[in-house]
Amino acid sequence: MNTDEKNIIDSEYSDIMQKSYIDYAMSVIISRAIPDVRDGLKPVQRRTLYDMSELGLRSDRPYRKCARIVGDTMGKYHPHGDSSIYEALVVMAQDFKKGKTLVDGHGNFGSIEGDGAAAMRYTEARLEAFTEEAFLKDLDKNTVDFVPNFDETEKEPEVLPVKIPNFLVNGSEGIAVGMATSTPPHNLKEVIEAEKAYISDPDITTEGLMEYIKGPDFPTGGIITNASELPEIYESGTGKVKIRGRIQEEKGRNGRKLLVVTEIPYTMTGSGIGKFMSDVIDLVESRKTTDIIDISNQSSKEGIRIVIECKREADTENLKNLLYSKTKLEDTFGVNMLSVHDGRPKTMGLKEIISAHTAFLYELNTRKYTDLLEKETAKSEIQEGLIKACDLIDLIVETLRGSKDRQTVIRCLTTGDTTGINFRSRLSEKEAANFNFTLNQANAILDMRLAKLIGLELEALIKEHDATLKAIAEYKDILEKPASMRRRIRADLDEIGSRYAMERRTDITDAQTAVFTEKPIEEMDVYFVMDRFGYARTIDCATFERNKETIESDEAFRYVFLTKNTGRVGIFTNTGVLHIIRVMDLPLTKLRDKGIPIDNLSKFDSSKENFIYIDDMDRIVASRLIFITKKAMMKFVDGAEFDVMTKRTVGATSLGAGDELHMIKAYDEEVDRQVLLQTEGGFFIRFAISEIPEKKKGAVGVRAMKLQDGDRIEAVYYMNFADERVIEYKGRQMPLTHVKLSKRDGKGTKVRV
């Protein structure tokens, strides 16, 4: 075969892409985003904790800079960037994120209100005592397999020998490719008791386990309100947990009532607190409630304290329901208990999770006590040899003195071969021939110090040997008898529970859905006021009457009309759109207050739209509207077509390419008998209004005037037959009646000055 020839394999591009993407997805799932059910840790968390252990950052040692920890972890085990490692380290130290913190942070590690941690060069960390005891203690006892790191220069544990179901205790959140995990944290004491119950009775049901695990236990406290749905969630591993913050009532100054939020939903940690306060302010501004006077965040290191000051006569129960129903003070936590089990992602129920961890505990303890038994057996062998050697020390010394090298002595001690050894007597040689030490014992005898011959040392050696034999018997008992293994595992769990358990923080109940009853609004007349910049507000009638002349002459009051505080305002724009806003969304202000931009209450875009016509929606609906565009398209539209209740933005008319609305007018049959159009090019046309047909709002309309190329409508005048109105045109006075009456769709008359 020619060496230049190559093997070319034909394959479908789609097949290659599919396989590559599946490989990538599984890599993200297994190696990045989804925790292992055995230790409840993602790879970055596992590697960070192991590296801290290797650096000797125990709970009784000084703190070490986080930059050192991150750099060491990245260089040895996790080559995915320092930010991901530091973020994982920070989260493991935040007591408002984890059921049990795994890292003891020193410095600014962020806050529950969303403040980020300081840079890693400023913060320090070390392991928590809990982490040492429950996560890392038995790494040196061959409990787990070690695998090569990314460049095969180091070894790292495939999984940590975690003694508690950390997947439940600390929960987990992660997004992979095509799947995500979201497991709530649980109470350590309850989880330990549930695992002990499973060890005693592997046939226990999910409901039986829930006698111990009542439900999630969030570090932020709060109240779970759908207790009856938890059994189904724990059976399937998926569902939604409803959580509420906790509100206490207190008395404020001047007899005012205070609603104090002392615990928040777990989902509100971070920027959610600021969002909650903003939402409460919006409720006040939108007049959902008038009982709230002020809100302040008085939270500190002692805990959450958000104070809502209310009026004396406020219905606090109704206000609580308002907060629960309209803000994130009541929220849902989506549960999807997905983890890596036997190397594959799997959504698991409560019993399956505990079963998987219990099997892991049996494996850990089997490997641990097998390793300990081997070490104790080897120690016993050496001890037996040394004790025996003490009784024969004179003969051993004589053998040593008569030998030429170490190998000769070892051969004699293990086999009784005296060849090449000079003894003082024939009797000594005969006794030496009875030596039958093991090789390990022989080496230990040769390495033994003379101090071992002291009586007290020998007595201590005998006691140590007795302890070794006792340990061997204990380890054999644990390995050979399942009942003994169960007792040992339960004892380990009890020890961790007694030292590190905490009281439950989250209450669990079945609460009724929060229903807020809005107080009926007393209907009253108000004046809508808006300036040319789109800042709108309302003023009461008394204020309007006192300042009527000022309002009518001031440009700041461009749009003014009477409406109801329970009504709606319609705003037509040049783009052919009608924006509808509720009057109650507008602030009731004093005369010179600025108001609120229309942009904030609707989809009006001041950069693209101009106001064409604004009025109370009741009047709009009851009227006939005349539409005219810049390109002289006209029509009547029945206002009833705009009587919509659900939409805030409505298409008011269809427009041709490059066209826009020029004017909308409510038709007045007593006055509007004729219409006169004026173009930018100086053409005028006057015709009877009766020539304009009524169309649907979605119609373009009919042509009112034939425009010259590039010409557009500049002004529109409505008049009756006897109207003697005079307009100013190019600096001269011109009566409207000088434009002769003609038919619609003419070219009009060119007026020259």
Three-state secondary structure call for residue 184: coil
Euclidean distance between the first and the last CA atom of the chain, given in angstroms as a whole number? 99
Q: How far is CA 459 from the centre of its chain?
A: 63
Which region holds residue 360: left if phi is over 0, alpha if psi is between -120 and 50, else beta?
Answer: alpha
| Residue whose entry in the numeric block shows the structure tokens 């959504």 | 347
Neighbours of 145 (CB within 10 A): 10
Catalytic residue among 24, 77, 122, 527: 122
| Residue whose entry in the numeric block shows the structure tokens 């659900």 | 646
| Cβ–Cβ under 8 Å, residues 410 and 441 | no
Three-state secondary structure call for residue 88: helix
Rg (CA), the chain: 43
Q: Which residues of 485-620 form beta strands (DSSP E)?
A: 507-508, 525-530, 535-540, 559-564, 568-573, 577-582, 596-597, 611-616
Three-state secondary structure call for residue 82: helix
Neighbours of 20 (CB within 10 A): 10
Query: Which long-range contacts does 720-726 make (Cβ < 8 Å, 24+ apart)?
Result: 720/670, 720/671, 720/672, 720/673, 720/674, 721/673, 721/674, 723/674
Main-chain dihedrals φ then ψ at residue 624, nearest 5 degrees: -105, 130
CA angle 158, 162, 165 (to 5 degrees): 115
122 labelled catalytic: yes
Distance CA 430, CA 416 (A): 9
Distance CA 709, CA 240 (A): 64
Three-state secondary structure call for residue 625: strand
What letter does residue 33 receive in the DSSP assignment?
I
Distance CA 652, CA 57 (A): 70
What letter does residue 227 receive in the DSSP assignment?
G
| Cβ–Cβ under 8 Å, residues 228 and 510 | yes
Helix, strand, coil % over all residues of the chain, rounded to 5: 40, 25, 40
How do 292-297 and 306-310 pair as beta strands? antiparallel
Main-chain dihedrals φ then ψ at residue 548, nearest 5 degrees: -60, -45
CA–CA distance from 558 to each of 72, 533, 595, 614, 695 (Å)?
68, 10, 14, 11, 30
- CA torsion, ordered 408, 410, 413, 416, to nearest 10 deg: -40
Main-chain dihedrals φ then ψ at residue 47, nearest 5 degrees: -70, -35
Task: List the catalytic residues.
Answer: 122
